[in-house]
């Protein structure tokens, strides 16, 4: 299999990987595809990076081809307007997750898009902005107004739609973890709002409830 594969070739390969039981399980999570993601990644390695093919696969509008497209594209080759249009189409959860993690965060336009998306009325778009903000809080906080972010989280997180609520909560946790001078305030906001306090967490996993998350990671980092 080479980089000269056509869209029909790839669609045929994807169809061969389709598993009805996997589709049924995925559809319960809102993902309309039936492909084991390890096998999807294996196919991506065979196809190899091919940005032109990735754009064609994305244009099909179908979830499985779009997931493969996100694995074989070149994030830095998307323009700001292309990134914006793509994000607004990422309704299935896994497509959204991969787009934000593999494309938006790796794009040289990440900060430009974070600012562009921050106050967008579309919850999917706002959530991506908060995810990019969370990344900056942890890795490159210079220039961010962390107090203002906490003000916004305190005001808006409780009643936010699911996607932005999740990424606002992630930002809250990252502020508490990486910025000790704001940790007490982050913990207090989390305790008062109780967002994700009852989220089911498997044994051995860290709860997404911000105070628990902050406490656990700080213990690991600081002993």
pTM (global) more than 0.85: yes
Q: Is the pLDDT of residue 47 over 90?
A: yes
Q: What is the DSSP letter of 104?
A: I
CB 83 within 8 A of CB 114: no
Tens-place pLDDT, residues 63-110 = 999 999 999 999 999 999 999 999 999 999 999 999 999 999 999 999
> Tokens in use for 13?
């390969």
Distance CA 114, CA 129 (A): 5
The length of the chain, given as a count of residues = 223
CB 160 within 8 A of CB 168: yes
Tens-place pLDDT, residues 114-125 = 999 999 999 999
Measure the CA angle with vertex 17, ends 63 and 2; round to 5°: 90
């Amino acid at each position: 299999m080479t980089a000269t594969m056509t869209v029909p070739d790839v669609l045929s390969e994807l169809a061969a990987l389709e598993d009805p039981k996997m589709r049924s399980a995925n559809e319960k999570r809102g993902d309309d595809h039936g492909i084991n993601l390890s096998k999807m990644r294996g196919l991506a390695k065979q196809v190899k990076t091919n940005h032109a093919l990735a754009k064609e696969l994305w244009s099909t509008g179908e979830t499985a081809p779009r997931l493969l497209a996100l694995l074989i594209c070149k994030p830095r080759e998307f323009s700001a307007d292309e990134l914006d249009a793509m994000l607004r189409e990422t309704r299935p959860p896994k497509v959204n997750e991969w787009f934000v993690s593999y494309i938006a965060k790796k794009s040289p336009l990440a900060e430009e898009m974070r600012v562009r998306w921050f106050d967008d009325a579309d919850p999917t778009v706002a959530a991506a902005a908060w995810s990019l903000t969370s990344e900056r809080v942890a890795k490159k906080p210079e220039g961010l107004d962390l107090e203002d972010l906490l003000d916004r989280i305190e005001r808006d997180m409780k009643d936010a739609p699911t996607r932005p609520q999740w990424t606002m909560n992630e930002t809250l946790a990252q502020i508490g973890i990486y910025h000790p001078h704001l940790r007490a305030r982050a913990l207090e906001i989390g305790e008062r709002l109780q967002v994700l306090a009852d989220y089911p967490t498997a044994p051995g996993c860290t709860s997404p409830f911000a105070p628990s998350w902050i406490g656990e990671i700080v213990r690991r980092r600081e002993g």
